[in-house]
Amino acid sequence: MATVYREMEEVDFQQGIKLAGVLVTADAAEGANGAARTAAQIVKRLLEGPGGVPSGDIDAGAVAALDALNASVLGFYADREASLGDALDRVLASIGGYLTVGASGLFTVGRLDAPGVSAVRAFTVHDILSIERVSPADPGRGVPVKRVTARYAPNFTPQADADLAGAVTLTRRQFVKEAYRAVTSEDGSVATAHLLAGEIALETLLADEADAGDEADRVLALRKVRRDLLRVSIADPAPEAELGATIALKMARFGMGAGRNFVVTSRSEELSRGGVVLEVFG
């Protein structure tokens, strides 16, 4: 027996049943329509259902904003025990999203994008106590990438020819043999400018090729240029610098003499001195 979620209620499906030697499987869908199967909506239902989070503790505006950024259809299935955190991570990773608790105390969602044009606040040498470059955690250590491959339409039960009925078409046979499909976005000029330019493979739960292609294009545009990850200690609480906000740094280091915009990817309060430590990307 395997447990899946449908409308966030547990439903049991018997697997491994065979009729006349044929394995019985199913294509299952949850949610009334495609608009209910976006990353933002699935995260909301996971929080409210298995997570037990009251709807009033979820930032509805942030959910709507993430839907506006990416309304692609996706789906999650677990054929073995999986934690709520694992499910949330896989859903959000499909579109480059994140989940956090905002300054308001509400669960909020967003997406990692390039810094915006306008900053909520500019920090200068008078505000910055210390600043250092941080090595990114990705395999390329921040080196620009030349190619992004997005895997999509995962098949959670790959099947061999022996598992299929004779009437199954060749197209369908090929589909069910593969664990996923893949689409690639590439910029050859990056390899010319950066000889060590690497590649990224995205594991997504996206259902459609076009949506997976759009996400591969988005990530390539974000990562094919040089980006810096910095850790900055600020002298005051800087409440404007919430996760996902665009801030500006202006100081005579790291090419920021004229000011440079970054997006906040992490913040840690320093209650002992009333300041905050930010990690910023841009």
Question: In this predicted model, what pLDDT tens digit does every residue of 66-75 receive, in sequence order?
Answer: 999 999 999 8
pLDDT at 257 over 70: yes
- Confidence category of residue 140, pLDDT binned at 50, 70, 90: low
- Confidence category of residue 11, pLDDT binned at 50, 70, 90: very low
| CB crowding 67-93: b at 16 or more within 10 Å, else e | bebbbbbbbbeeeeeeeeeebbebbbe
CA angle 99/104/110 to nearest 5° reads 25
Q: If we measure between CA atoms, which residue out of 282, 197, 194, 276 comes closest to residue 241?
A: 276
Task: Give residue-wise pLDDT tens across range 31-83.
Answer: 778 899 999 999 999 999 999 999 999 999 999 999 999 999 998 887 778 89
- Confidence category of residue 187, pLDDT binned at 50, 70, 90: very high
The full set of domain ranges for the chain reads 2-111, 122-137+227-281, 145-222
- Confidence category of residue 158, pLDDT binned at 50, 70, 90: confident
DSSP 3-state assignment of 89? helix
- Confidence category of residue 115, pLDDT binned at 50, 70, 90: very high
Query: What pLDDT, on a 0 to 100 scale, did the predictor assign at position 25?
Result: 72
Residue 137 in tokens: 């955690």
Q: CATH number of the domain at 2-111, please? A: 3.55.50
pLDDT at 200 over 50: yes
Tell me the percentage of the chain whose pLDDT exceeds 70: 91
- Confidence category of residue 7, pLDDT binned at 50, 70, 90: very low
Other beta carbons within 10 Å of 35: 11
Amino acid at 3: T
| CB crowding 187-198: b at 16 or more within 10 Å, else e | beebbeebeebb
Task: Give residue-wise pLDDT tens across range 203-243.
Answer: 999 999 999 999 999 999 999 998 999 999 999 999 999 99
pTM, whole model, 2 decimals? 0.84
